[in-house]
Amino acid sequence: MQSETQRLRDLCSLIVDCPHSTPVWTESGYIVIRNQNIKGGRLDLSSPSFTDAEHFAHRVRRAKPTAGDIIFTREAPMGEVCMVPPKLECCVGQRQVLLRPNPKVVDGRFLLYALQSPQVQHEISWSEGTGSTVSNVRIPVLEALRIPTPDLTTQQEIGVVLGMLDDRIDLLRQTNATLESIAQALFKSWFIDFDPVRAKAEGREPAGMDAATVALFPAEFDESELGPVPKGWTVQPIGDLVEAVGGSTPDTKNEAFWVPAVHHWTSPKDLSGATAPVLLDTERKVSDAGLAKISSGLLPAGTLLMSSRAPIGYLSLSQVPVAINQGYIAMPPGSRLPPEYLYFWCQLNMEAIKGRANGSTFMEISKKAFRPIPALLPSPEVVNQFHEFATTVFSRVTANERQARALADLRDTLLPRLISGKLRLQEVQVEGEEALA
């Protein structure tokens, strides 16, 4: 049985448009929620933006966001939503609307999911009565949106079920962020700060290392063009230590290059919204004929991908064989420095990499400019030790991301059917419990 619907204005105690002015940006202060912080129903403040106290006061004059409020993007992009978490002091940015669910008639988490459902998103994307797509949502149209509204108890139960899936996805991705930060910290300690070598040189025991690992590091430094480096380690152009290749785009108007779609083919667009540092799939695939047009061919799983333009610096370890377009410098496995090592080397040397870029239309670093960058070559034993650790980390990250995607697929399948009333909670209880186990 399908749910009844109500207008959004009847479900909210407050619907407030944002101030129609650009916030005054500051380096610190009060958080301004921007459209780029809202995606897939979640709020991402990993790259926050700020304004000062005076302009914050102006932006919250009509309404200050509180925990449980929903922020809706009116355009660029249109129809994204997120919920304001507890203890966050913030204000809305441009092209946003603040919604305050009325708890007497709607469960806030249910409304968050209902606004993301295909049924409501379709209504959002078409202007009322004209049959044409729109690029922004006017307030009267937003207020008139018809929202499926089962009884309040059912709303709360649906919010809990879908929320459990999202919470599990968040936990998996937070775990991945922690795993990556641990591996990066170890890389920095061993290959940037040289902590084990400094400790041995000063007669101290390196912290947190077993005797066999300690023995792999020297106790002295040599001078190099990069400054003091561990004795026996050398500095060489990165192009002498790794294979760096580029790709191309087969003619997009020639269907024979794309059908049948057989081989993964990636452009940096695949990495732009990545939730993990691993590539599991690509938006497009090429045919055998299309692959033959790409000189680098099909690169093996484990290849490090670095976007070389628009923008420079996306990084991902491909978990599938993949062909690449011209927007990458790719580093396949088999070189003196493994891709897992290179992932962190590129991260921590990104400013130097970008410093070699040039271009009039957009900045780009060519393979020719990339290859001379000086890089440290540690002893093979130390590289292998780090490689073993990093391989374990990326294996766990990959498994977690696969599980997160499976849960996201389940959530996206359940969401429209639950919201519309076509599927009852009892029918998904066992499936949801198994997915969260």
Q: How large a percentage of the chain has pLDDT more than 70?
A: 95
**Residue 278: strand pairing partners:** 317
Does 131 score more than 70 pLDDT?
no
299, 318 in Cβ contact below 8 A? yes
Alpha carbon distance 319, 340 (integer Å): 12
- DSSP letters, 178-241, are HHHHHHHHHHHHHHTS-HHHHHHHTTPPPTT--HHHHTTS-S-EE--TTSSEETT-EEEEHHHH
| Cβ within 8 Å of residue 297, ≥6 positions away | 291, 323
SS3 at position 171: helix
Give residue-wise pLDDT tens across range 97-125.
Answer: 999 999 999 999 999 999 999 999 999 88
| Cβ within 8 Å of residue 43, ≥6 positions away | 33, 37, 71, 82, 83, 84, 85
Beta-strand pair 70-73/96-101: antiparallel
276: left (phi over 0), alpha (psi -120 to 50) or beta: beta
User: What's this model's pTM, rounded to 2 decimal places?
Assistant: 0.89
10, 142 in Cβ contact below 8 A? no
- Lowest-confidence pick of 198-212, 305-319, 421-435: 421-435
Give residue-wise pLDDT tens across range 67-98.
Answer: 999 999 998 889 999 999 999 999 999 999 99
For the chain, give percent helix, strand, coil, nearest 5.
40, 20, 40
Closest C-alpha to 215, from 382, 357, 90: 382
Alpha carbon distance 418, 256 (integer Å): 41
Alpha carbon distance 268, 139 (integer Å): 35
Distances (CA, A) of 333 to 175, 299, 437: 26, 9, 35
Written in H, E and C, the secondary structure of 39-79 is: ECCEECCCCCEEECHHHHHHHCCCCCCCCCCEEEECCCCCC
Neighbours of 6 (CB within 10 A): 15
| Cβ within 8 Å of residue 203, ≥6 positions away | none
Q: What are the structure tokens assigned to 139, written together?
A: 């307030």
Confidence of residue 1 (pLDDT cuts 50, 70, 90): very low
Query: Mean pLDDT, the chain, as a whole number?
Result: 93
SS3 at position 264: strand
How are strands ordered across the β-sheet holding 263-266?
284-286, 263-266, 323-324
Confidence of residue 422 (pLDDT cuts 50, 70, 90): confident
H or E stretch covering 323: strand 323-324
